[in-house]
Structure 1
């Protein structure tokens, strides 16, 4: 129920009061850890991170002024893979920010970095690989880049993301039956 409230808050309040960012800029969304977000260790449960990240990516699209146009086209984001590194816990009632940014793309996928930070520093960092779909059709990165009006070069993916991308391909190759 907690996440439904946060999603409703996003659509009812936050989307009316957002700042505009560029396609490669960082989106920053504030959160607070509620008791219902905690596990038995009394910190933000690991299961909550991906759910908050979903909301953060939606917020980033809204700040880019792309949420409504993409929904109108019925282009829906789909996560293909994600990886997390947890650095330190986030305590109950602690305020933190989720920073979301597009790292780059290839011919099929977009790579997004999401960082959980507070006044205490970095708590977790995650990379997400995804694409957009419309009626079972994969939207090419070229189509999406044209839709959002970005005209620059694709940024070079950081070495750690290039290694992750290669590992995902090896994993796929090793498990094809």
Structure 2
């Protein structure tokens, strides 16, 4: 939680030339507080790792100031994680975050957790942006604000489209 707070309040420097469709990589290490009674990372902690990855993704784009100036902030509308391997104390790993596309309601992201070239977990996240007044901001407007130009969404993979319908976040 401390890492997420720092990443949000004091984001890392923007990466020059970074595009909204470029992947962002966050390097992390398993800490004692991340473990459950079985001595591996608790499933809920993966969601915090992914929160951190999304904050770093926005930081890499230099988006925090642009969004904050407009009074916009991100929230998670839905998420699904599939776990393949465990992480244990002291292990180093990465969270790779990338935008898959967007519709009129949400932005769809994929987040991969990897350790030593092995796939550990995969998450899909449907994210929204809200204004301080609580209004939903169209994802295309957010992309335009970050990229300085209007952009069309890439076509979403079929499995992500099916997931979005199943969790009821897809545009109707």
Q: Structure 2-normalised TM-score?
A: 0.88
Q: Which residue of 84, 88, 94 corresponds with 2:85?
A: 88
Which of 17, 21, 27 pairs up with 2:24? 27
* 8 A Cα contact 2:19 2:61, kept in partner: yes
TM-score (norm. length: structure 1)? 0.86
Q: Within the alignment, does 1:144 sit opposite 2:142 as a pair?
A: yes
Q: How does 1:25-64 map to 2 (within 5 A)?
A: 25-64=22-61
Quick one: structure 1 residues 12 and 106, their matched pair in 2 at CA, closer, same or farther if it must change by over 3 Å?
Answer: closer
- CA shift, 1:153, in A, is 3.0
Which secondary structure state, in structure 1, belongs to the residue aligned with residue 167 of structure 2?
helix
Is 1:76 matched up with 2:73? yes
Contact 1:62 1:68 in 2 (8 A): no
CA RMSD, 1 decimal: 1.9
- Runs (5+) with no aligned partner, structure 2: none
Moved >6 Å (runs of 4+): none
Greater C-alpha Rg: 1
Q: Give the whole-Å Cα distance in 2 for the aligned partners of 1:12 and 1:109.
A: 24
1:97 to 75, 88, 94: 94
How many residue pairs align between the two structures? 166
* The one of 106, 129, 132 aligned to 1:132: 129
